Structure 1
Amino acid sequence: MVQVQQPLDTDKEMFTVLVSDQMDKEGLKPVLESSLVNVVFQPVHDTSVPLDQIDALLIRSATTVTKDLLNRMPRLKIIGRAGVGVDNVDMDAATSNGVVVINAPDGNTISTAEHTFAMLASLVRNIPQANQSMKKGKWDRKAYQGAELYGKTLGVIGFGRIGAELAARARGFRMNVIAFDPFLTKSRAEKHRVTPVDLEEVLSKSDFISVHTPLTKETKGLLNKETLQKTKQGVYILNCARGGIIDEKALYEAIESRHVKGAAIDVFEEEPAINHPLTTLDQVITTPHIAASTSEAQKNVAEQVAIEVLDYLNGKPAPHALNLPYLDGDVFEKFSPITKLTRTLGEMSSQLFRAPVQEIELSYAGEISHQETGLFNRSFLAGFFRHRIDGYVNEVNASWIAKERDVQVAEKHENESQGYSNFVKATVIGEKDTLEVYGTFSREIGPRIVQINEFSLDFQPAKHTLYVQHNDQPGVIGKVGQLLGTHNVNIATMQVGRKNEGGKAIMLLSTDKECDQSVLEAFARIDEIVSVSSIEL
């Protein structure tokens, strides 16, 4: 066991921090230099480590934190993951044990953006291929003629932190930058000096396309055989984000057919990607998932968690906490139905409003308006952002995520509850449209949706839900039922809302299974249907 003992200040409590994985020592300076901390460097499974004396645990990806391990660490207060993902931590067990889990979501932003741009420049100038040729003793200048980046158009799909940093570097090379992100507001696009466009325009106008979206059911296979065919002849494709966003077989075929001129890939759907077909193509540059692997990034993530762990041990809040501190039984019983409602409202609103969001306003009426509503706001945001980012989102970090994405959050307390004992109205405001979703709850039934925009109904949210906008005409409900029956989708419940006979109307249906894309596309064959959305809760 390797231990670093700092001078003891007998007037203050001492803490023991266990560093279980290899971590940058420079980044760990905040805890190493603290007079309040003993630092132990040792794998957590080492029998010489006094687990019952550990106050904080710092890990990367090698250490797996299980329920059993947590039970053997009764003094543990906080886990710091020096990186983004927390798949190696049992979050439920940590929460039930009252252990806060934090990560370092910003530490690899610059490294990933720089790696992507390095791949872009290398790709267009054939640098890796020319280097390999030289190593074989050749001098073939004509074979490796490249192109300039100046004046070319870079299309960025997904405009989060890394996408914004990549755009800044591209502008430095005087490229034109266009960006598609369903949640990119006009003001944020102007701030970063990029042109917001739809996906079709990115595909048709870009000389280079770089993906930086989270991997979700909507983005899996986003660049596939169909969408790649819509790109410019001779386009270059880059992926340093998540494996699976690009259909790798379709990309291979598009390169073989010479429609796609080249590709730079750092991440793969299945890793390690040894002997992957894309690595056999001369037009493709590949790296083994190293976009975030720089000494600076490793220092940054270690420093971020070290500072936050030290602050937390000294009684300060942890802004990058990923789990909600454990609530005792009475508190949980009191607030659980309300947070379930607000979280459900958040999930539904996010999936119904697939556009950039500028502001979210939550209004409370009835008994709920007399409670402290901060937790309810956060549970709404946790549900809302769950479907918009690739990462662990909950009541603790949701407010920080909203702030990072320039989403203003406001709340109101009103007297009019429309006859309900508890009433919540969520208003989502975008650049052009506004969505209103109203809900209530009871301990017997649970959350209920009672209005969407101007349409009143009474719907109990379900795991698989369809939202259908249609024209109120005879036979529409029958056509919807027949369509779902043809696709072997069973309807559990249905609610219809309308304002005027023969006017606009909506349906909310709960089904026994999720409706896939083929089902949603089939609705286009019903003339009375305006739009249909699949909602997964």
Structure 2
Amino acid sequence: MKVLIADGVSQMAVDILKDDFECVIKDKLPAEELLQIIPEFDALIVRSASKVTAEVIDAATNLKIIGRAGVGVDNIDVPAATARGIIVINSPGGNTNAATEHTCAMMLAMARNIPIANETLQKGEWNRKQYTGVELKDKTLGVIGMGRIGSGVAKRALAFEMKVIGYDPYINEERAKDMGVEVGTFEDVIAKSDFITVHMPLTDSTRGMINKDVMYKMKKGVRLINCARGGIIVEEDLRDAVLDGQVAGAAVDVFTSEPIPADHPLLGVKNIFVTPHLGASTVEAQVGVAVDVAQGIKAALNGDPVMTAVNMAPVSKSVMQVIAPYFDLAERLGCAARALVEGGIKKLDVTYNGEIADVSTRMITTAVLKGILSAELDDVVNFVNAPGLAKQRNIKVSEVKNKNTERFANTVTVTVTAGKNQTVSIQGTLFGDKARIVQINDNRVDVAPRRCLLLCPHNNRPGVIGQVGSIMGAAGVNISGMQVSTTSKEDVNLMILTLDSEVPADVLKLITSMEEIYDAKMIMFK
């Protein structure tokens, strides 16, 4: 497999990947060349310079994963990638500390006029009175967006004896209060704060959220900081509000379009301090984000789940450790259920019993969908596109959780409804790290879901199993395992054969033609 590194990253990231994959490094890659060469590659690493457009994604016929060495993914068309089943990952924690510290540095530099004081002193001017600043102590800091960076800034502001009020539509109020942060509405933050820092992603709802109307609802003399994403604050409105005296100062590290032109509205304006997108520009952060993404790409290309995918539900490391062992089991249960019903699947119910019911199981359910859909589609089905493909096919998906168990510590039960309300239920568990099928409908079994399985409900009389074995032997199909389970129907047993190869159609027809065999279903695990 080939990995394209389109923007320069730490050599440590290259070292992680080069032993397993062919790495091609093309720093500052022109858009035309990216479009031309992308079909060759299985993975792509970018920072903020390269634009991964829908056109690039359409051309990327082999691409499986895009890694953004940083937090923001606004330079990647994530919906287009998702539609193609391409995983998009970022490094949400790799530059958190760097961005947090830069925000605090910008706030302090603005409060004490450090940039302009340095500039004029270097020119031989001594302007102590002109550059009198303000203290942070006892001021109110409004934090818009209480994620990793926003929370980090709040924590440091409290050390400066500031009062902190935070706004975030998804804020955990209990955690914020434990930190000593007051939780408020957007309007509360705007009206009460002496300093306001934004830490929201750039989306349709946050684009231009700090505009002229909002600025004039703030305290007169407020100071604004934006080290998050360009476009959240309307740049022309900010310039006008500073010139008008409504906003006393601003510190800006990010811009709507980068690099900025010489006539940018925030340049040359007194009390507006700017830096060229330095939030993540520390030695430690550049190594951190590159290593994070390289490890994610290595995992994805080796078929393992990744924790930092932005186009699937995020999962913490602790939860991933619990659920990851169930992915293979879940996928095989889905594959088996698909093979045991006919017609289009209308409904999928996944029931979790035991301690596993205490954690988020969405990715396990997605693994079940992978198994179901991979059995009937030629397209690549993965954790990214499986939910969307199920929705396109009008498959209703539900989860049921119950901590009560009967025979095993944890079980996953997959129930599918297909065709004319045909239903099949199949249950599995883990014995150590080994997947086992332990129930099919109302039949208790103990089968390893590997290779090929042949399920034959049959009349419980002597000679039936031996006759099937003889047919298999004559056809050169090796039986590596066999189990017989009683069913709820009198004199009907369920024979399950584990085979080393698929049963040819003519052989399967011969078996089903036997008077004592009521049905024969093949399960082929990919």
The two structures have a TM-score, normalised by structure 2, of 0.55
Q: What code does the residue aligned with 1:84 have?
A: V
Is the contact made by 1:77 and 1:100 (CA closer than 8 Å) also made in structure 2? yes
Aligned to 2:87: 100
Shift of 1:75: 5.8
Q: What code does the residue aligned with 1:24 have?
A: S
Q: What code does the residue aligned with 1:41 have?
A: I
Provide the rounded CA distance (Å) in 1 between the counterparts of 2:343 and 2:92: 29
Aligned 1:10-409 pairs, distance under 5 A: 15-32=1-18, 34=19, 36-42=20-26, 54-63=41-50, 76-86=63-73, 89=76, 99-274=86-261, 275-323=263-311, 367-369=347-349, 374=362, 396=384
Q: What code does the residue aligned with 1:315 have?
A: G
Q: CA, structure 1 residues 132+314, in 2 after alignment: closer, same or farther (shift >3 Å)?
A: same
Output one character per residue of 1:386-432: Cα deviation in whole Å (capped at 9) or x when no partner.
Answer: xxxxxxxx974999xxxxxxxxxx95489xxxxxxxxxxxxxxxxxx
Is the contact made by 1:234 and 1:260 (CA closer than 8 Å) also made in structure 2? yes
> Secondary structure at the residue paired with 2:12?
coil
Deviates most, 164-173 or 89-98? 89-98
Provide the rounded CA distance (Å) in 1 between the counterparts of 2:126 and 2:345: 72
Provide the rounded CA distance (Å) in 2 between the counterparts of 1:203 and 1:66: 35
Q: CA, structure 1 residues 143+307, in 2 after alignment: closer, same or farther (shift >3 Å)?
A: same
Provide the rounded CA distance (Å) in 1 between the counterparts of 2:53 and 2:259: 25
Shift of 1:185: 2.9
Is the contact made by 1:320 and 1:397 (CA closer than 8 Å) also made in structure 2? no
Provide the rounded CA distance (Å) in 1 between the counterparts of 2:130 and 2:55: 59
Provide the rounded CA distance (Å) in 1 between the counterparts of 2:224 and 2:151: 18
Structure showing greater radius of gyration is: 2
Provide the rounded CA distance (Å) in 2 between the counterparts of 1:239 and 1:335: 55
Q: What code does the residue aligned with 1:158 have?
A: G
Aligned to 1:5: none
What is the aligned-residue RMSD (CA, Å)?
Answer: 4.4
Q: CA, structure 1 residues 143+23, in 2 after alignment: closer, same or farther (shift >3 Å)?
A: same
Aligned 1:442-453 pairs, distance under 5 A: none
Output one character per residue of 1:162-183: Cα deviation in whole Å (capped at 9) or x when no partner.
Answer: 1111111112222111112232
Output one character per residue of 1:29-65: Cα deviation in whole Å (capped at 9) or x when no partner.
Answer: 3224x4x444443468889x99887554333345555
Shift of 1:244: 2.7
Q: Indicate the percent of aligned positions where both proteins have the same amino acid.
A: 44
Output one character per residue of 1:54-88: Cα deviation in whole Å (capped at 9) or x when no partner.
Answer: 55433334555578877887665433332334455
Deviates most, 122-131 or 87-96? 87-96
Shift of 1:108: 2.5
Is the contact made by 1:322 and 1:396 (CA closer than 8 Å) also made in structure 2? no
Provide the rounded CA distance (Å) in 1 between the counterparts of 2:79 and 2:168: 32
Provide the rounded CA distance (Å) in 2 between the counterparts of 1:240 and 1:122: 14
Provide the rounded CA distance (Å) in 1 between the counterparts of 2:71 and 2:50: 14
Q: What code does the residue aligned with 1:229 have?
A: Y
Output one character per residue of 1:254-297: Cα deviation in whole Å (capped at 9) or x when no partner.
Answer: 32232321111122334433222332222111122222222222
Output one character per residue of 1:349-374: Cα deviation in whole Å (capped at 9) or x when no partner.
Answer: xxxxxxxxxxxxxxxxxx55479994
Is the contact made by 1:322 and 1:397 (CA closer than 8 Å) also made in structure 2? no
Shift of 1:136: 1.4
Deviates most, 306-315 or 95-104? 95-104
| Structure 1: runs of 5 or more not aligned | 1-14, 339-366, 380-393, 400-409, 415-442, 444-537
Provide the rounded CA distance (Å) in 1 between the counterparts of 2:229 and 2:343: 37
Deviates most, 79-88 or 135-144? 79-88
Is the contact made by 1:321 and 1:397 (CA closer than 8 Å) also made in structure 2? no
Output one character per residue of 1:158-203: Cα deviation in whole Å (capped at 9) or x when no partner.
Answer: 2112111111111222211111223223212124321112233322
Shift of 1:223: 2.6
Aligned to 2:451: none
| Structure 2: runs of 5 or more not aligned | 313-333, 353-360, 368-381, 388-397, 403-418, 420-526
Q: What code does the residue aligned with 1:31 have?
A: L
Provide the rounded CA distance (Å) in 2 between the counterparts of 1:237 and 1:336: 56
Provide the rounded CA distance (Å) in 1 between the counterparts of 2:150 and 2:291: 23
Output one character per residue of 1:433-473: Cα deviation in whole Å (capped at 9) or x when no partner.
Answer: xxxxxxxxxx9xxxxxxxxxxxxxxxxxxxxxxxxxxxxxx
Provide the rounded CA distance (Å) in 1 between the counterparts of 2:63 and 2:267: 45
Aligned to 1:467: none
Aligned to 2:457: none
> Secondary structure at the residue paired with 1:144?
coil
Is the contact made by 1:29 and 1:303 (CA closer than 8 Å) also made in structure 2? no
> Secondary structure at the residue paired with 1:278?
coil
> Secondary structure at the residue paired with 1:79?
strand
Shift of 1:242: 2.3
Alignment coverage as a number of residue pairs: 343
Shift of 1:377: 7.7
Output one character per residue of 1:90-118: Cα deviation in whole Å (capped at 9) or x when no partner.
Answer: 65775576543322233232222211111
The two structures have a TM-score, normalised by structure 1, of 0.54
> Secondary structure at the residue paired with 1:281?
coil
Q: CA, structure 1 residues 86+143, in 2 after alignment: closer, same or farther (shift >3 Å)?
A: closer
Is the contact made by 2:193 and 2:219 (CA closer than 8 Å) also made in structure 1? yes
Is the contact made by 2:103 and 2:153 (CA closer than 8 Å) also made in structure 1? yes
Shift of 1:309: 1.7
